[in-house]
C-alpha cells in the first residue's frame, strides 16, 4: 500500500521484520487468527442456541416475541453506522489525516455508546417485566421453563457481545488519546478496526437469531 507508506502515522519497523509490508502482513494474519478464535467462541453458544431452538421451537418463538423489534432494528442500524465510521477512520489513518481520524473515532465511540444505551434500556425493560432468568422469573404462558432457557441464551449472547462492545469503545478511546498526542500508528487503527467490524458481524447474526424468530405468526 503506497498510500500507507506515505502516511505520517506509519508504524516503525520492528527488528524481526525485513519490510513494513511484511510486518503489516504478519499483523493482519495475527489479528485474523484471533478473530477465528472469537468466531468459535461465539459459535459454541450459537450452536447450543440453534439446537435448543429446534427442540423448543414454540416456546422460543413466544419468548422471542417479548423482545422489542424496534430497538433491535435500531441497534442494527446504529452498529452498521459505526462500522462505516470505523472504516472511514482507518481510511483517514492510512492517508495521515489526523483531524478526520479524530472525528471518525469520536463518531464511532458515540455510535458504540448509543448501541450500549439502547441495549441497557432493553435490559431494564426485561428487568421490569420479570423476564430475567432465575428465581424472580415470571412467565404468563405454560412453557415457562423453555422460555426461560431462551432468555438465558438472550442474556448470555447479547451480554458477551456487549462486553466486546465495551472493550471496543475503550480501544477507540485509547486510539483517540494517541491521535490527540500525535503518537497514533495507522496499523494499530487498522487492527482495531478489524476487531470493531468483527463485533458488528456478531450482531448481524445475533439480530435475526434472537429477534426474528417466527415474527409472522
- Under the criterion CB under 8 A, does residue 7 sit at the interface with other proteins? no
Q: How far is CA 210 from CA 45, 68, 112, 174, in A?
A: 12, 11, 20, 32
Residue 58: how many other CB atoms lie within 10 Å: 13
- Under the criterion CB under 8 A, does residue 180 sit at the interface with other proteins? no
Of how many residues is the chain composed? 217
Please tell me what DSSP assigns to residue 208. I
- Under the criterion CB under 8 A, does residue 173 sit at the interface with other proteins? no
- Under the criterion CB under 8 A, does residue 197 sit at the interface with other proteins? yes
Please tell me what DSSP assigns to residue 207. I
Tell me the per-residue interface mask from 22 to 51 with other proteins, x by CB under 8 A, - otherwise. Answer: ---x--xx--xx-xxxxxx--xx--x--xx
- Under the criterion CB under 8 A, does residue 133 sit at the interface with other proteins? no
Give residue for cell 427442540: 55
The rounded distance, in Å, linking the Cα atoms of 94 and 10 is 8
Helical (H) or strand (E) element with 171:
helix 144-181
Of residues 3 and 180, the one with the C-beta less far from other proteins: 3
- Under the criterion CB under 8 A, does residue 94 sit at the interface with other proteins? yes
Please tell me what DSSP assigns to residue 16. T
- Under the criterion CB under 8 A, does residue 212 sit at the interface with other proteins? yes
The binding site for other proteins (CB under 8 A) comprises 1, 3-4, 25, 28-29, 32-33, 35-40, 43-44, 47, 50-52, 54-55, 69, 72-73, 76-77, 80-81, 83-84, 86-88, 91, 94, 145-146, 190, 193-194, 197-198, 200-201, 204-205, 207-208, 212, 214-217
Amino acid at each position: 500500500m503506497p498510500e500507507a507508506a506515505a502516511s505520517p502515522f506509519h508504524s516503525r519497523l520492528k527488528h524481526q521484520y525485513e519490510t513494513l509490508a511484511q510486518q503489516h502482513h504478519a499483523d493482519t494474519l495475527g489479528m485474523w487468527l484471533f478473530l477465528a478464535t472469537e468466531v468459535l467462541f461465539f459459535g459454541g453458544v450459537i450452536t447450543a442456541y440453534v439446537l435448543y431452538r429446534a427442540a423448543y421451537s414454540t416456546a422460543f418463538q413466544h419468548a422471542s416475541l417479548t423482545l422489542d423489534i424496534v430497538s433491535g432494528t435500531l441497534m442494527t442500524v446504529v452498529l452498521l453506522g459505526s462500522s462505516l465510521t470505523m472504516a472511514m477512520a482507518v481510511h483517514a489513518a492510512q492517508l495521515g489525516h489526523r483531524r478526520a481520524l479524530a472525528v471518525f473515532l469520536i463518531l464511532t465511540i458515540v455510535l458504540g455508546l448509543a448501541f450500549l444505551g439502547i441495549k441497557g434500556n432493553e435490559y431494564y425493560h426485561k428487568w421490569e417485566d420479570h423476564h430475567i432468568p432465575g428465581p424472580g422469573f415470571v412467565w404468563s404462558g405454560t412453557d415457562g421453563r423453555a422460555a426461560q432457557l431462551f432468555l438465558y441464551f438472550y442474556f448470555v449472547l447479547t451480554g458477551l457481545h456487549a462486553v466486546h462492545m465495551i472493550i471496543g469503545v475503550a480501544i477507540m478511546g485509547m486510539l483517540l488519546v494517541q491521535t490527540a498526542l500525535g503518537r497514533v500508528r495507522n496499523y494499530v487503527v487498522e487492527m482495531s478496526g478489524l476487531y470493531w467490524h468483527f463485533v458488528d458481524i456478531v450482531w448481524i447474526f445475533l439480530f435475526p437469531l434472537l429477534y426474528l424468530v417466527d415474527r409472522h405468526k
